[in-house]
């Protein structure tokens, strides 16, 4: 990943996001989301630096924003980022067992990534799906009515899908 | 699509669209509405939708359309679907897994008999 | 684990065995083999299911269908009809006490009859991707009325008569906000929709955004016309990707039809909308933090005054309203203010969407007139608490609100009443908790949330809530003192008085509220080191009574961390070191052998 390549990518993304905006400039957060999607679940520092060049925004300001919002990551994360809700409605409907089963099955704690780079486990605040609690999101997919068994099934499904895709 | 400028044009769209909503003149005798809010999807609504479409195809039913809509508000019994057949009151079913969806297509849509143990509501919402 | 399509549980309790269960099972297994289904259907014998006079009984999963009085013939039939063809065999279904078919004809349920759907009028009725269907339900007729028949002042009057108050939580009179922004000096103005719904237990905004996105587009366009704005932003949290998708589509089609963009409906009024995505910060639901976020900064609230109506986005007058508030605008414009204010009660007019979550049977969204009692909402409409448990408390208003105990549930839900009880309506989330919840644990839960989401700008919130959390953690581990309880109260008052924004000002509320109504629970933790609800991990254990355990292995199978050991038909044991006290085993034991005890 050369500096020039990163610069090109970031420049393109920024232009793309800006063109869809009514107010040019100040599309920082939308741009960061697009950059994160491109690099797969994280924003490398090279991209942040490129963004500084492209927009003229100081790097400190970019980092201020990057580190404040929980959905942005500055370090590499797994291909599938699991965000399990730990707010009250999920808690009182069996959320504890779901969290336990995730940690047990993946053998990682919150903030960690599995060795094969497939999964990162994170805790999140309420996802607004309380009607089907307990809930988790894996990247953009939502899974509800979770039980430890269901969690196992979902992880199995993803693992076998990844395996067949890599063949 | 030409832009709308007058009340008359708006009214015309409304009338046509209402017919579609109520299935008059649409050539279809019924429709199945699947609640596809994120909560429904989190409970498996995407698989349910697929199962309904597949099942209708399998049975050669082509005069019943399948549409998606937002959350009915019945999160507890999701996935939920609403079956509208001409001349009959709409029925909302709950806990519609792909297996149950197949059952509903066979028993209700094809066979004309409501599936008693899955009903959540009869009649208009 | 092999992929199993169906699991069949055959009751092998004493009564069923004596009624011929063994032969039923063997016929079942033979028939499965005959159709080569033995690899995909798992047959498990379980302990007594309780309906002994109707045995042999079997249950087919994943549907959870119960069959009763099974014989060798009916067993074969079930394999052929149900498992092979997916057809439930109705005459063999479990009939329950009344002997009636277990149908669920619930058409007259209060869940449906009590609702008055205004903000949620189109949910489940239209295809959110179809602008025509939105128009069929009177969509964009309100916009037409505002552009051709009435003027901005008339709209403010209509809103005033409706007595609509902000549905996001603050409950500020909507007409006043619109009027203030309208009167603010300046050529450039903005309209913002706060779609950063973050309150635990609230999900009505998501439902509206996903199910009826055009109502937001229409309402914001009307607002722009009234206050004199040219551009608008919908700030949606990133955790709602489907809402973002559907809103984007709605904006696109609205532009095609001429309802948005240049020369709306052929007039000289132009207004356009854009979506700005959040990035996982609850505090961005606070209006000034939201504005900072749109401006590409950290979501840190600003000091108010000045209010956004005079100095908001990029220092220009900005109208900021919540999704649900906007959803009410088009029908109010069409039907008139008095039509809306006929519902509800004095001071709390109109309808409100409540989100029922937690230990309640009918979780979901209900829109009802204000003034309904909590009892009606939770018991009649919500179906009460499942599992035969008692209601303990209802948490309202998210992390800014408090808990209402069982004794007070005959209170009508109004802005004033909730305030008197020490809580708020907030966004309308109602988290129901049963007797298994520990209120100290609940308070700690909310404080964990607030500490996590605090932006960090001001000391009272950043440090004060952290100290409060530390004290609560001490208490839930049995290490607290009466002094700590006093300290909690003092800290709470201080934080409420001195925090910069609403998040901090209301953060101690769950603690203050639970202390007010459940003081005895706090005292028990502190004075006796006991958790009366047996929830706090350090103060309880889950144990298996070896006398009662028959070794059915049901508990071992559901334990998420494999903490239970034991062989089939031998008493099982829970390893307290590994056990996380999640309660899964308790929920499945049919022999009453598992219980929670204080150490």
Q: How buried is B62 (Cβ within 10 angstroms: 0-12 exposed, 13-18 middle, 19+ buried)?
A: exposed
- Confidence tier at B16 by pLDDT (50, 70, 90): confident
Q: What is the pLDDT of residue C341?
A: 96
Q: Which chains touch A (3 or more CB pairs under 8 A)?
A: B, C
Which residues on chain B are in Cβ contact (under 8 Å) with C266?
3-6
Check whether B23 has a pLDDT greater than 70: no
CA angle in degrees (0–180, nearest 5) for C79-C44-C1: 100
Q: Chain C within 8 Å of A133 (Cβ-Cβ)?
A: yes
Q: Which helix (H) or strand (E) holds C394?
A: strand C391-396
Top pLDDT among C136 and C100 is at: C136
Contact A120, A40 (CB under 8 A): no
pLDDT tens-digit series, residues A51-105: 999 888 899 989 999 999 988 998 999 999 999 999 999 999 999 999 999 999 9
Q: Chain A within 8 Å of B38 (Cβ-Cβ)?
A: yes
Over residues A16-36, mean pLDDT: 83
Q: Chain B within 8 Å of A90 (Cβ-Cβ)?
A: no
Report helix, strand or coil for A98.
Answer: helix
Q: What is the pLDDT of residue B125?
A: 56
Which residues on chain A are in Cβ contact (under 8 Å) with B41?
141-142
Residues A144, B76: C-beta atoms closer than 8 Å: no
Over residues C87-101, mean pLDDT: 59
| Chain Cα centroid distance, residue C438 | 19
Residues A131, C357: C-beta atoms closer than 8 Å: yes
pTM confidence score: 0.84
- Report ipTM for this prediction: 0.91
Residue C30 CB contacts under 8 Å (≥ 6 apart), including other chains: none
- Confidence tier at C9 by pLDDT (50, 70, 90): low
Which residues on chain C are in Cβ contact (under 8 Å) with B9?
none
Over residues C436-462, mean pLDDT: 93
pLDDT tens-digit series, residues C585-595: 988 888 889 99
Q: Chain A within 8 Å of B82 (Cβ-Cβ)?
A: no
- With tokens 């009234």, the residue in question is C226
Residues C274, A23: C-beta atoms closer than 8 Å: yes
Tell me the shortest Cα–Cα distance from B114 to chain C, in angstroms. 11
Tell me the shortest Cα–Cα distance from C430 to chain A, in angstroms. 9
Check whether C64 has a pLDDT greater than 70: no
Tell me the shortest Cα–Cα distance from C186 to chain B, in angstroms. 29
Check whether B24 has a pLDDT greater than 60: no
Tell me the shortest Cα–Cα distance from A23 to chain C, in angstroms. 9
Q: Chain A within 8 Å of B42 (Cβ-Cβ)?
A: yes
User: Using CA atoms, how far apart are residues C379 and C500, in angstroms rounded to an integer?
Assistant: 39
Class of CATH domain B27-122:
alpha beta
**A129-133, C57-61, C326-330: which has the highest mean pLDDT?**
C326-330
Interface of B with C in 10-39 (CB under 8 A): 10, 13-14, 16-18, 20-21, 33, 35-39
Check whether C97 has a pLDDT greater than 70: no
**C305 DSSP assignment:** S
Q: What is the pLDDT of residue C467?
A: 96
Which residues on chain A are in Cβ contact (under 8 Å) with C280?
69-72, 124
Check whether B25 has a pLDDT greater than 60: no
- Confidence tier at C100 by pLDDT (50, 70, 90): very low
Residues C242, B38: C-beta atoms closer than 8 Å: yes
Residues A144, B39: C-beta atoms closer than 8 Å: yes
Joined tokens for residue B88 = 């009959």
Picking from C112, C266, C367, the nearest residue to B121 by CB comes out as C112
B91, closest residue in chain C (CA to CA): C107
- Virtual torsion, Cα C482, C487, C492, C495, nearest 10 deg: -170
Tell me the shortest Cα–Cα distance from C555 to chain B, in angstroms. 25
Q: Which of A73, A88, A106, A148 has the highest number of chain C CBs within 10 A, making it the mutation to test binding with C?
A: A88
User: Using CA atoms, how far apart are residues B7 and B5, in angstroms rounded to an integer?
Assistant: 7
Which residues on chain B are in Cβ contact (under 8 Å) with C144?
7, 10
Q: What is the pLDDT of residue C54?
A: 58
Check whether C425 has a pLDDT greater than 90: yes
User: Using CA atoms, how far apart are residues C214 and C249, in angstroms rounded to an integer?
Assistant: 9
Ranges of each domain in chain B: 27-122
Which residues on chain A are in Cβ contact (under 8 Å) with B43?
132, 144-145
Q: Chain A within 8 Å of B76 (Cβ-Cβ)?
A: yes
């Amino acid at each position: 990943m050369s500096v020039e390549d990163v610069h090109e990518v970031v420049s393109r993304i920024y232009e793309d996001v800006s063109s869809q905006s009514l107010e040019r400039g100040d599309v920082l957060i939308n741009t960061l989301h697009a950059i994160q999607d491109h690099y797969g679940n994280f924003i490398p520092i090279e991209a942040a630096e490129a963004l500084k060049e492209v927009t003229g925004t100081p790097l400190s300001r970019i980092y201020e924003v990057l580190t404040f919002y929980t959905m942005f990551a500055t370090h590499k994360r797994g291909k599938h980022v699991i965000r399990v809700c730990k707010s009250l409605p999920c808690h009182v409907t069996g959320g504890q067992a779901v969290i336990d089963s995730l940690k047990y099955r993946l053998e990682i704690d919150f903030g960690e990534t599995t060795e094969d780079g497939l999964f990162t486990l994170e805790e999140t605040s309420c996802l607004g799906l309380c009607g089907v609690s307990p809930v988790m999101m894996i990247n953009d997919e939502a899974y509800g009515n979770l039980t430890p068994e269901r969690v196992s099934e979902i992880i199995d499904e993803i693992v076998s899908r990844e395996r067949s895709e890599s063949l | 699509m030409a832009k709308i400028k007058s009340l008359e044009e708006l009214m015309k769209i409304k009338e046509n669209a209402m017919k579609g909503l109520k299935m008059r003149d649409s050539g279809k005798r019924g429709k199945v509405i699947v609640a596809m809010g994120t909560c429904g999807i989190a409970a498996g609504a995407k698989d349910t939708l697929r199962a309904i479409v597949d099942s209708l195809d399998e049975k050669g039913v082509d005069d019943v359309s399948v549409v998606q809509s937002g959350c009915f508000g019945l999160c507890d019994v999701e996935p939920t679907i609403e079956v509208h057949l001409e001349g009959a009151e709409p029925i909302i079913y709950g806990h519609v897994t792909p297996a149950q969806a197949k059952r509903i297509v066979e028993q209700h849509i094809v066979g004309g008999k409501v599936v008693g143990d899955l009903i959540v509501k009869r009649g208009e919402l | 684990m092999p992929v199993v399509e169906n699991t069949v549980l055959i009751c092998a309790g004493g009564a069923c065995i004596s009624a011929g269960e063994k032969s039923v099972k063997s016929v079942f297994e033979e028939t499965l083999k005959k159709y080569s289904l033995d690899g995909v259907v798992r047959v498990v014998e379980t302990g007594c299911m309780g309906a002994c006079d109707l045995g042999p009984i079997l249950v087919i999963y994943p549907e959870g269908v119960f069959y009763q009085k099974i014989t060798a013939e009916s067993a074969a039939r079930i394999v052929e009809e149900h498992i092979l063809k997916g057809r439930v065999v109705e005459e063999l279904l479990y009939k329950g006490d009344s002997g009636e078919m277990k149908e669920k004809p619930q058409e007259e349920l209060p869940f449906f009859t009590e609702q008055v759907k205004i903000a949620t009028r189109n949910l489940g009725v239209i295809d959110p991707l179809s602008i025509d269907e939105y128009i069929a339900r009177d969509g964009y007729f309100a916009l037409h009325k505002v552009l051709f028949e009435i003027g901005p002042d008339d709209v403010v009057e209509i809103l005033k008569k409706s007595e609509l108050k902000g549905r996001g939580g603050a409950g500020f009179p909507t007409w006043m906000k619109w009027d203030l922004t309208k009167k603010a000096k300046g050529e450039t103005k903005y309209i913002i929709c706060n779609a950063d719904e973050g309150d635990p237990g609230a999900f009505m905004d998501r439902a509206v955004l996903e199910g009826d996105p055009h109502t937001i587009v229409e309402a914001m366009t009307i607002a722009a016309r009234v206050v004199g704005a040219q551009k608008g932003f919908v700030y949606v949290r990133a955790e709602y990707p489907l809402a973002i998708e559907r809103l984007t589509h709605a904006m696109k089609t609205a532009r095609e039809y001429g309802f948005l963009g240049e020369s709306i409906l052929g007039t000289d009024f132009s207004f356009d909308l854009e979506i700005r995505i959040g990035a996982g910060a609850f505090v961005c639901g606070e209006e000034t933090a939201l504005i900072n976020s749109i401006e590409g900064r950290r979501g840190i609230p600003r000091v108010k005054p000045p209010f956004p109506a005079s100095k908001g986005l990029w220092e220009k007058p900005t109208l900021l309203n919540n999704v649900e508030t906007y959803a009410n605008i088009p029908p109010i414009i069409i039907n008139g203010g008095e039509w809306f204010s006929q519902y509800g009660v004095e001071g709390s007019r109109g309808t409100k969407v409540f989100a029922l979550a937690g230990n309640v049977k009918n979780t979901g969204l209900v829109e009802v007139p204000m003034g309904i009692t909590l009892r009606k909402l939770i018991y009649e409409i919500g179906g009460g608490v499942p599992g035969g448990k008692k209601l303990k408390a209802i948490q309202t208003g998210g992390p800014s609100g408090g808990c209402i105990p069982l004794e007070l549930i005959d209170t009508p839900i109004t802005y004033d009443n909730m305030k008197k009880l020490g809580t708020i309506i907030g966004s309308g989330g109602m988290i129901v908790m049963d007797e298994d919840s520990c209120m100290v644990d609940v308070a700690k839960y909310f404080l964990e949330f607030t500490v996590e989401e605090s932006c960090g700008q001001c000391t009272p919130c950043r440090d004060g809530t952290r100290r409060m959390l530390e004290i609560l953690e001490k208490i839930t581990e049995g290490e607290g003192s009466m002094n700590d309880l006093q300290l909690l109260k003092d800290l709470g008052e201080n934080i409420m008085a001195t925090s910069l924004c609403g998040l901090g000002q209301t953060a101690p509320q769950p603690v203050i509220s639970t202390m007010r109504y459940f003081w005895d629970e706090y005292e028990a933790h502190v004075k006796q080191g006991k958790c009366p609800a047996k929830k706090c991990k350090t103060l309880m254990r889950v144990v298996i009574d070896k006398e009662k355990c028959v070794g059915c292995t049901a508990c071992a199978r559901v334990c998420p961390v494999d903490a239970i050991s034991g062989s089939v038909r031998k008493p099982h044991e829970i390893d307290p070191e590994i056990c996380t006290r999640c309660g899964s085993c308790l929920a499945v034991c049919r022999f009453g052998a598992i219980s929670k005890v204080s150490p």
